[in-house]
């Protein structure tokens, strides 16, 4: 029963991400650098999500496609080229 419940929540989470998360290559299809990015996604049209999944990791590389991006904490803008 516990295994069945875990599988159900995994399937639900996967379906939720398919519906809500947007692959960078879909949103920035004219930027070939996004085509191979599979470890970050957009939540809606404006929020970049970059999961850190390994224990002990405190920083990681992030690719920002050409656009104006806003820092959530400082409310500053950065134009990426």
Query: What average pLDDT score do residues 10-33 get?
Result: 72
**Domains identified in the chain, total number:** 1
Q: What is the pTM of this model?
A: 0.64
pLDDT band at 19 (very low <50, low <70, confident <90, very high): low
Q: Which long-range contacts (CB under 8 A, 24 or more apart) does 27-32 make?
A: 27/65, 28/65, 28/66, 28/67, 31/65, 31/66
Whole-angstrom Cα distance, residue 67 to residue 79? 6
Q: Which domain holds residue 43?
A: 2-80
CATH number of domain containing 31: 2.60.40.1180
pLDDT, tens digit (0-9, with 9 covering 90-100), for 48-58:
999 888 999 99
């Amino acid at each position: 029963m516990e295994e069945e419940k875990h599988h159900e929540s995994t399937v639900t989470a996967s379906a939720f991400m398919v519906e809500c998360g947007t692959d960078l290559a879909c949103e920035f299809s004219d930027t070939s650098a996004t085509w191979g990015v599979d470890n970050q996604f957009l939540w809606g049209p404006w929020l970049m999500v970059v999961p850190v999944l390994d224990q002990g990791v405190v920083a990681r590389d992030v690719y920002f496609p050409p656009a104006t991006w806003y820092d959530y904490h400082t409310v500053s803008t950065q134009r990426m080229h």
